[in-house]
Structure 1
Amino acid sequence: MKKKISITIDEKTLGDIDTIIDYIYIRNRSQAIEHLVRNSLGDNKTAVILAGGSSKKLKLTKDEYKLTAKVGKTRPIDLGLKKLHQNGFKEIFLVGEREMLSRVFEVVGDGTSYGVKISYIEENNSRGTADSLKLLRGKITKTFLVVYGDIIFKSINIEKLWEDHIKLNSVATLMLTTSPEPSKKGIVKMEGNSVLEFIQKPKRSDIYVGFSSMFVAEPEIFDYSGTSLEMEIFPKLTKNELLKGHLSSEKEIHINKIEDLRNIS
């Protein structure tokens, strides 16, 4: 939700602001000022690690979860927190069931050693990804990043995704990559940066651009009804032209078995 305000700016500064108006992504002074303010706040961004659902399904080994399993000296949670910190994310929310959250806390604590602050958000009866995310309603009041808890994203250019979201003026902007197996992902039909259609794991598809388990969103996303992001909320956003996409040549790594953690450090 946007609010109208009145501000006083000296003439020279106003002239400098006008120089960044390109009439494509930044079409007026209001958007230019908003763009500059968001960039100035860029080193204090918020991210959500969404690891909801049954803790048992997130187990990778008998004793470890997908986030905490260790190969050599590295765990996915270590890589994730370091990557987020490098990209200016200082406030991290981790959503999941108590058992999994307790194990992550044993490994990384409150995040101080990574230069971030982690808030652990316990879920009990989540019916889907949207239910899990909505636990943060009221806790997040600005643009934020969402990363699913079963991926390694060390090669993804988060900054480019974030910048595209700011320019495109959407409720959510999805990280997209090409996939040889579209039936294993949510696939999207695109026109420019706009997502025209989002279909979760279709049985068959001739579209090979898929959702890569990461997106940037505005707090307005909490206002949309539905228990699943992929099955309900993303499709609703497409109907209102409020879902955009950022296509990346770099791909995430999905953690399904211990072998997926090899060579990740």
Structure 2
Amino acid sequence: MRAMILAAGYGTRLWPLTVDRAKPAVPIMGRPLIGYVAEYLSRHGCREVVVNLHHQPESVRAALGDGSRYGVRACYVEEPEILGTSGALDNARRVLGEDFFAETFVVINGKIVTDIDLAAALRAHREQNALATLVLRVNSERERYSVVETERGLIKSFNGFPDPVQDEGAAAPLMFTGIQILEPRVFDYIPPKVFSHSTTDVYPKAIAAGEKVVAHVSDGMWHELSTIKRYLETNLHLMARAGKRVELCSQAIVEDGADVNEAVLWEGAYIEKGARVRRAVLGAGVRVRAGCEIENAAVVRADLVRAADPPPKATPGEFRGEKFIVRL
């Protein structure tokens, strides 16, 4: 089976961690995030993947390569302009040809970490002869994810964000995980050569035409790494499961005598003896010197961002010597 990994986004809310790489190229548990997604697809029988690119495309190519390290064969399609989720599909088919999408295929967001049972979703998709099957989960915390309305196992509509104040006795809303299984005839509903999103421009039209868009609700582990806070919390969750207190990328060093706990160190980060680091992400090449304390923060080298314009959705930070620090 084939799959498409959506990896073209700007990663603005993850800035400044995305100042030198795209979001799917950030590290997670010893591998790039896109490698984690590729491994997930491979475990479920998806061996050929196409990845769409736009922001910092070479960082994604370098992270995934030909995909063989992660059990897939990868190819890439660049978008001169961002095209949206379904616009990306239309563009990929135009570049790769219709044969790549000639059978049932999977589309997955390149910014998630999950162990959701994709095989169960595929069974539901085939049993219902669906045009599309969207994997949903219960949004028990009522976070800012669009509410998906369903009826008798089918999707009815996509609405706004949930009210953070839950009415007593009201069921928690459902949200879309970014994992979907599609049939080739979905292209009949995708507007050609324009920016378009599946949930706003494709599925409402398909549902109105009588197509089945199936809601498959899963309770598997799922994390979405769109913000620095979520990125850190996801790492800490996975580290705790693995019995780890510190995650070191290549050439990252913690000197004996450094006090470090619940920290993620990207490649070449260095913590000197006498430094203290707690609940933090240290970007590539960051050095924490003796006597310095970092807690509840993400840190990158100041030289990477000094001349950069922070995107509108970025969390504000401050320069401190050779470091740029974002408090969480």
Smaller-chain TM-score range?
0.7 to 0.9
Q: For the residues of structure 2 that align with 1:71 and 1:126, how far apart are their CA atoms?
A: 25
Alignment partner of 1:102 out of 55, 58, 61: 58
Q: Name the SS of the counterpart of 1:262 in structure 2.
A: helix
CA contact (8 A) 2:25 2:33 kept: yes
CA contact (8 A) 1:187 1:200 kept: yes
Shift in alpha-carbon separation, 1:66–1:252, aligned structure 2, 3 A = same
Q: For the residues of structure 1 that align with 2:207 and 2:141, how far apart are their CA atoms?
A: 23
Number of corresponding residues: 219
Shift in alpha-carbon separation, 1:218–1:72, aligned structure 2, 3 A = closer
Deviation, structure 1 residue 146: 0.7
Q: Name the SS of the counterpart of 2:47 in structure 1.
A: strand
Whether 1:62 aligns to 2:19 is yes
CA deviation digits over 1:202-252, x for unaligned, max 9? 678976011111100011112214411121212222322421110111242
Q: Is the radius of gyration larger for structure 1 or structure 2?
A: 2
Q: For the residues of structure 2 that align with 1:188 and 1:55, how far apart are their CA atoms?
A: 24
- Residue 135 of structure 2 is matched in structure 1 by 175
CA contact (8 A) 1:177 1:251 kept: no
Deviation, structure 1 residue 201: 3.9
Q: Name the SS of the counterpart of 2:39 in structure 1.
A: helix
Structure 1: gaps of 5 or more residues = 1-44
Shift in alpha-carbon separation, 1:200–1:165, aligned structure 2, 3 A = farther
Deviation, structure 1 residue 100: 3.1
1:172-251 pair list within 5 angstroms: 172-180=132-140, 182=142, 184-199=144-159, 201=161, 208-226=173-191, 227-239=196-208, 240-251=210-221
Q: For the residues of structure 2 that align with 1:58 and 1:142, how far apart are their CA atoms?
A: 35
- Quick check: which one's strand share is greater? 2
Shift in alpha-carbon separation, 1:163–1:251, aligned structure 2, 3 A = same
Shift in alpha-carbon separation, 1:190–1:101, aligned structure 2, 3 A = same
RMSD after superposition: 2.5
Q: Which amino acid aligns with 2:125?
A: H
Shift in alpha-carbon separation, 1:62–1:53, aligned structure 2, 3 A = closer
- Residue 108 of structure 2 is matched in structure 1 by 147
- Quick check: which one's helix share is greater? 1
Q: Name the SS of the counterpart of 1:186 in structure 2.
A: coil
Deviation, structure 1 residue 132: 1.3
Q: Which consecutive aligned stretches of 4+ in structure 1 deviate over 3 angstroms post-superposition?
A: 53-61, 180-183, 200-207
Q: Name the SS of the counterpart of 1:184 in structure 2.
A: coil
Whether 1:254 aligns to 2:224 is yes
Deviation, structure 1 residue 200: 5.0
CA contact (8 A) 1:50 1:133 kept: no
CA deviation digits over 1:146-176, x for unaligned, max 9? 10112112x2111111111111111110001
Structure 2: gaps of 5 or more residues = 240-328
Give the fraction of aligned pairs with identical amino acids, expressed as a percent: 26
